[in-house]
Structure 1
Amino acid sequence: MAAPRPKRRYLESPLRALLNIISTSVDAIDAAYTSTNLPHPSLDAPYDPHAPGEALRSVPRVAAAAKNIIGAAAQMIAELEHPFQGVTSTAYAFHQAAAISIASQLDLSEILHDAGPSGVALDEIASKSGASEVLLAKVLRLLATQHIFREVKPGLFTNNRLSSTLSKGKPHYVLARSPEERLVGTSGRAALIEFTGDECFKASAALVDAALDPKGEQIALKRAFGIGPSESLFQWHARPENKARKERFACAMQGTTESDNSEGLFQGFEWGSLPHGASLVDVGSGTGGTLMRVVKRYPEHKFRIVNQDLDGVIETAKRYWKTNLPTYDRVSFQTHDFLTPQPQTCAATNYDKPRVFVLRHIMHNWPSAQARAILRHLRAAAGSETQLVVLESALPVVCRESDGTSDHDIVPGAVRPPAPRPLLANGGRASASIYRMDMTVSKQDPSLHVNLF
């Protein structure tokens, strides 16, 4: 009698390993929603930032599980998609960037919001937006394929969870009547999309020429817009003809808080341990949304808030606080260039002594020499009890090995555990936004000539 054949051993395929990560992570998210008796946010329904189900997405264990799913799903697509199709999909992504910018600038989310879930026909959207019906069909179908907007019937479109985030919170007829005020008092999300679709998109188109220039004399933004060699983005925005762009940029910086970890601001620093009435100075504040969140979290502390930025930006900040927190009477606004000496110093009275200087998403915009100047001005103004809070992102390498020189190795507390295998160590697709930001506003030396700005 022949001996039985040995059982063949199969190694777990990458697909099966990725599927297991997805399955385990879905179980964790489902358990969180079941235990709280909350429904999952629906992709087909408009986004409601105040819904308890949305807030649950920010709970660390749920956010971590979602990050694993996003990374695993994208890696599974990369495993299965024809390799050249994957490359060309990235090469053609500029069409999506153009489409989303068109949708925001034509206020399509507001047009669809007015009609509700039943949707709006293309001819009506064209009539209200003033755009070509043929163009709108192309734009909306490309975006709907990416789950931004929804085609409920042929030629009939409505908002969904993603597209509704473009809403400016104003009826379409108001936006059409006063286009210069369309972004004032908004969350900043639409402003961020439109800034990205204008300055960032056009600068990225010039990035190849800038990167291949052997002299490296112009960064991409200056090539795209004809900006002088000694001008920065902020100086260019200060030109009278760029007033609308400058105000949009200020609103857009508020919109960046929408993509931040909503609890990260409070996990890295104990704001509640500060004495009541402490003076908090937001240096380069934009609209001042960062410290507004602190005030809302700790209203009993009655912090004294000082928002500092350039003149036109400060006017936008005043409107933002008046719209979103009009009753708070312990906020002031100060025109200040942070490359010059800091006016809020400990030579002031005890009440006015700055207890915290905040730099949120500031340092990455500047080469090392200017970054040192910013910090030296703050050090000169600080006292023995003054603290500095810097909100930035450390850019991780993609592999699991380290040479000991990355930000995560050098900055204490920046080390994070890698994503589970076989995911990329940085989480892959779920962490892509930080690399896009790095390409947009790089702090590399101009001699490397790969900056957008």
Structure 2
Amino acid sequence: MTVSALADIIRQQADILETSLPPHAYADEHGDPSLAVARSKLLEACDKLNHLVTGPIEWSGHRVHAALQYACHFRLASYVPEDGTPITYDDLAQRAGVETSQCARVLQLLMTYHIFREPGTRIVAHNRNSRVLLDEDTGMAVEWLTQDSLRSSAFFTETRAAPRKWSGSRRSSSGDGQDETSRIAPLGPTYAVDRHIASGSPRTAAEVTSTSGDRYARAMAGMAKRRQLSVEHLVHGFDWASLPNGATIVDVGGGNGHYSKAIAEVNPGLNFVVQNLNTTAEEVTKKEGVANLGGRLRFVEYDFFTPQPITHGDVYLLRRILHLHSDGDAVDILRSQLSGIRKPGARIVVMDNIAVSSGTLSTLEERQTRTLDIAMMALFNSVERDVDSWRALFKAADPKLKLVNVIKPLGSALAVMEVCIE
């Protein structure tokens, strides 16, 4: 396709968005499928035009990620006035405790990616993109992506080539129940091993990466704020109202209960049990919004690799759990849940990514899917599964486990899969 033809597509799709959306709101389609299509076509044409004009070997590389890592680690955004008032590089560096020249050079690179702005000589101010970093969870997500995730990518091939139990591995039943691979997950093999070896510490890789584990948890909270992962997609992606009054939803690995609370708020007849590792009584009392639900939501400690202790559940919810595990481990998790299901008609609801066949999406959308697949391999030894792979996974856990319904809400990165026992 020629440059002129691509420019025509860009103009056509831009006109659709500009006549339908307010300025600076082009990233939000407001639930309108036609606007979502226009936005997708616009991005696709821009990407092709950029590739056509720049050529095959001109790319940004990892340097911008290094700059973002620096900015997030030293919390540079928090020292820049939020109201848009500029601050000198000298004052910013002093407040952040960094060297002025380094600070300026990092920010000046980020400005070429439209993050921060330089309204005058030797001064910096926020713009719309840099203000995103003021949100602590979002900033932590960026920091995690540019530290832990980037480090796993740096050693991606080296790790794959190493003579390790890393291809299709699953947890060991010997010793403490975990082999070195499973100890490292969910932070990725290379980061944990690299730090563990370099430090000469006798501690396990999991202990070495405890700080990164905290960062990972907060990073996931930041990523959940993206519209593609909005809680609304789960609230409306399954017919919760069809469940009988008093039904119990078991939120397996449900973290802080954010998703259960959202469902509970619009379904007053349902009860919820949020299961998570290391859930203490003190932590439960700090959960926001729990008291407002009148005892319909409670938290319990649970390891989803062990037999499910709650036998009266109507729905066992696994949101972005299996996605982070190899097929072997995912089968073990499913079997652990099946061991506790006793109620007739009970089902498992899985909300997770579904990979697509090549050529069924735009290049940009498929690129996101393939990028995530490699990220899962690097970080968790897992894989992005298509529908057939999901069916095979459920069958491997139990031949009676059947995928009966798949819904992907508009704008959601995840699909809701309803799995029943025949």
Specify the alignment match of 2:65 in structure 1.
97
Query: What is the one-letter code of the residue matched to 2:368?
Result: S
Query: Would you say 1:130 and 2:97 are equivalent positions?
Result: yes
> CA shift at 1:334, angstroms?
1.5
> CA shift at 1:119, angstroms?
1.8
Count of matched residue positions in the alignment of Structure 1 and Structure 2 = 354
Secondary structure of the corresponding residue to residue 355 of structure 2: coil
Query: What is the one-letter code of the residue matched to 1:311?
Result: N
After superposition, the C-alpha distances for 1:37-93 in whole angstroms (9 at most, x for unaligned) are: xx3237xxxxxxxxxx876555443333222222221111001113222xxx15x2x
After superposition, the C-alpha distances for 1:365-384 in whole angstroms (9 at most, x for unaligned) are: 22222211211222232322
Q: TM-score, normalised by structure 1?
A: 0.68
CA distance 1:54–1:222, change in 2 (3 Å): closer
Q: Among residues 298, 323, 326, which one is paired with 1:367 in the alignment?
A: 326
Specify the alignment match of 2:412 in structure 1.
none
After superposition, the C-alpha distances for 1:399-443 in whole angstroms (9 at most, x for unaligned) are: x3xxxxxxxxxxxxxxxxx4xxxxxxx222355433332222239
> CA shift at 1:126, angstroms?
0.3
Q: Among residues 340, 355, 371, which one is paired with 1:436 in the alignment?
A: 371
1:42-121 to structure 2, matched below 5 A, reads 56-57=29-30, 59-85=32-58, 89-90=59-60, 92=61, 94-114=62-82, 116-121=83-88
Q: Among residues 159, 166, 179, which one is paired with 1:210 in the alignment?
A: 159
Query: What is the one-letter code of the residue matched to 2:330?
Result: A
CA distance 1:264–1:445, change in 2 (3 Å): closer
Q: TM-score, normalised by structure 2?
A: 0.73
1:303-314 to structure 2, matched below 5 A, reads 303-311=270-278
> CA shift at 1:158, angstroms?
2.0
Specify the alignment match of 1:421 in structure 2.
none
Query: What is the one-letter code of the residue matched to 2:305?
Result: L
1:145-160 to structure 2, matched below 5 A, reads 145-160=112-127
Secondary structure of the corresponding residue to residue 390 of structure 1: strand
Secondary structure of the corresponding residue to residue 41 of structure 2: helix
Q: Among residues 17, 23, 26, which one is paired with 1:29 in the alignment?
A: 17
CA distance 1:211–1:246, change in 2 (3 Å): closer
Q: Percent identity?
A: 24
Query: What is the one-letter code of the residue matched to 1:65?
Result: A
The gaps in structure 1 that reach 5 residues or longer are 1-12, 34-38, 43-52, 169-185, 230-234, 347-353, 401-417, 419-425, 449-453
CA distance 1:237–1:22, change in 2 (3 Å): farther
Query: Would you say 1:279 and 2:238 are equivalent positions?
Result: no
- Higher RCO, Cα 8 Å, sep 6+: 1
Matched-pair contact (CA < 8 Å) for 1:99–1:139:
yes
> CA shift at 1:278, angstroms?
3.2
- Which whole-Å CA distance do the structure 2 matches of 1:293 and 1:28 have between them? 34
- Which whole-Å CA distance do the structure 1 matches of 2:218 and 2:380 have between them? 28
Matched-pair contact (CA < 8 Å) for 2:248–2:270:
yes
- Which whole-Å CA distance do the structure 2 matches of 1:30 and 1:447 have between them? 41
- Which whole-Å CA distance do the structure 1 matches of 2:382 and 2:138 have between them? 33
> CA shift at 1:211, angstroms?
3.0
Q: Among residues 289, 292, 299, which one is paired with 1:327 in the alignment?
A: 292
Query: What is the one-letter code of the residue matched to 2:143?
Result: E
Matched-pair contact (CA < 8 Å) for 2:264–2:271:
no
Query: What is the one-letter code of the residue matched to 1:135?
Result: Q
> CA shift at 1:225, angstroms?
2.8
Secondary structure of the corresponding residue to residue 338 of structure 2: helix
After superposition, the C-alpha distances for 1:324-355 in whole angstroms (9 at most, x for unaligned) are: 66634432211111111112212xxxxxxx22
Query: What is the one-letter code of the residue matched to 2:371?
Result: R
CA distance 1:444–1:193, change in 2 (3 Å): closer
Q: Among residues 132, 145, 149, which one is paired with 1:200 in the alignment?
A: 149
- Which whole-Å CA distance do the structure 2 matches of 1:29 and 1:314 have between them? 50
Query: Over aligned residue pairs, what C-alpha RMSD do you find?
Result: 3.4
Matched-pair contact (CA < 8 Å) for 1:339–1:374:
yes
- Which whole-Å CA distance do the structure 2 matches of 1:427 and 1:318 have between them? 46
Specify the alignment match of 1:385 in structure 2.
345
> CA shift at 1:122, angstroms?
0.8
Secondary structure of the corresponding residue to residue 301 of structure 1: coil
Secondary structure of the corresponding residue to residue 98 of structure 1: helix
> CA shift at 1:127, angstroms?
1.0
The gaps in structure 2 that reach 5 residues or longer are 167-180, 198-202, 384-422
Specify the alignment match of 2:140 in structure 1.
191
After superposition, the C-alpha distances for 1:173-213 in whole angstroms (9 at most, x for unaligned) are: xxxxxxxxxxxxx5x32222222222212222111312344
CA distance 1:23–1:243, change in 2 (3 Å): same
After superposition, the C-alpha distances for 1:232-268 in whole angstroms (9 at most, x for unaligned) are: xxx96752x5443322222222222233253533453
